[in-house]
């Protein structure tokens, strides 16, 4: 299993139990910063919740373009199948976009629709 992709995480995917549930293993990672973004907290209706009226507050990346805005997170190394599993876990609440981190590394990140 080759970790061909980097995934910038700032929320639930940093949790080892969520990682186990989503990709079947604990992922290795390192700290990094995403510039030009901020984290908003939005109330959403989670279609995965049992109750149709279930609402939850989730962190959501929002691009600001402002150099002083930074989001601290963890960059996880994942393979293509694990990235697909993360996509399924995050959909339809977020969309995956390519970002450049302060370290200069390129990674995927999930932002709100």
Residue 39 has pLDDT above 80, yes or no: yes
pLDDT in tens, 1-34: 567 999 999 988 999 999 999 999 999 899 999 9
pLDDT in tens, 60-113: 999 999 999 999 999 999 999 999 999 999 987 889 999 999 999 999 999 987
- Higher-confidence residue: 80 or 55? 80
Q: Quote the pTM value.
A: 0.86
* Angle, vertex CA 31, rays to CA 30 and CA 37, nearest 5: 135
Annotate 13-58 with three-state secondary structure: HHCHHHHHHHHCCCCCEEEEEEECEEEEEEEEECCCCCCCCCEEEE
């Amino acid at each position: 299993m080759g970790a061909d992709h980097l995934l910038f995480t700032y929320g639930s995917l940093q949790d080892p139990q969520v990682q186990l549930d989503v990709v079947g293993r604990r992922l290795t990672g390192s700290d990094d910063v995403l510039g030009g973004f901020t984290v908003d907290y939005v109330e959403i209706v989670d279609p995965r919740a049992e109750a149709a009226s279930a609402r939850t507050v989730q962190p959501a990346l929002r691009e600001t373009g402002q150099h002083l805005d930074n989001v601290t997170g963890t960059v996880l190394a994942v393979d293509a199948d694990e990235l697909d599993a993360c996509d399924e876990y995050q959909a339809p609440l977020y969309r995956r976009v390519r970002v450049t981190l302060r370290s200069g590394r390129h990674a995927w990140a999930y932002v709100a629709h």
